[in-house]
Amino acid sequence: MLGLSTPSGFIKVSKLVSPWLWTACVLLIGAGLYFALFVSPADYQQGQTVRIMYIHVPSAWLGMFGYSVMALASAAGLVWKNPLADLVAKASAPIGASFTFLCLATGSLWGKPMWGTWWAWDARLTSMLILLFLYFGYIALQNAFDDPGRGARAAAILALAGFVNVPVIKFSVDWWKTLHQPASLMKMSGPALHPSMLTPLLLMVSGFTCFFVAVLIVRVRTEILAAKIRALRLSEIHAAQGSGVAG
């Protein structure tokens, strides 16, 4: 696929795509913020706090999207033993974890004025918290081995095992009718939001997604370069040792 599956091909393609992604990200988030903060109306019940939604929902989406990317890349890495897939999985974990944390933090800020509490042991909140800990476990397992390849493969198996949580989060609000409101965006009957709120929300979601992909590319590129530096250093050491023995 466009020579994307090798590290050098990835660097080539990413150099072409990156500037466009960053531009799209800035434009989308800029427009989204404008619509969210100035054009869209305040909610008749929630007042101005409804605007937290424009950060909260994209973060939640990326928290789950990041885990899905990680699990898919892990599966690809395990099946095809593709080094790039391992790097993508590794790179998406901290970004996804950050967005999951952002989702929980904004949700907490939103919950205080709306539900009267910073935190509730509601099904969706709890499953999102578990997702955060799954990310932590993944990152910790990855760094626990002296051989980075072994860490990547062990973590990949964990990522796949933890993937069961993602559909549980998505459907938690439908299965257990607790404090968190049910799905209003991705429904069979179409979104339940008024267009004036839907427009900025979709702009923000796509802007955040562009941001995620752009940061992911930066991280993967850094990992590739770091691996190259490591290999160069190793070969230098070997060369020095080789000449030492010969001399």
Residues that bind other proteins in the complex, under the rule CB under 8 A: 78, 126, 130, 133-134, 136-137, 140-141, 144-146, 150, 153-154, 157-158, 160-162, 165
Report in angstroms how near the CB of residue 58 gets to other proteins at its nearest. 24
Report in angstroms how near the CB of residue 138 gets to other proteins at its nearest. 8
Measured from the CB atom, is 139 or 198 closer to other proteins?
139
Measured from the CB atom, is 11 or 141 closer to other proteins?
141
Q: 196 exposed, middle or buried (CB, 10 Å; 0-12, 13-18, 19+)?
A: exposed
Which residues touch 157 (CB under 8 Å, ≥6 apart)? 74, 78
- Phi/psi of residue 5, nearest 5 degrees: -80, -5
Measured from the CB atom, is 33 or 154 closer to other proteins?
154
- Phi/psi of residue 119, nearest 5 degrees: -145, 140
Report in angstroms how near the CB of residue 91 gets to other proteins at its nearest. 20
Measured from the CB atom, is 123 or 197 closer to other proteins?
123
Q: Is residue 90 within 8 Å of 139, Cβ to Cβ?
A: no
- Closest to 214 in 3D by CA, of 38, 86, 92: 92
Report in angstroms how near the CB of residue 164 gets to other proteins at its nearest. 8
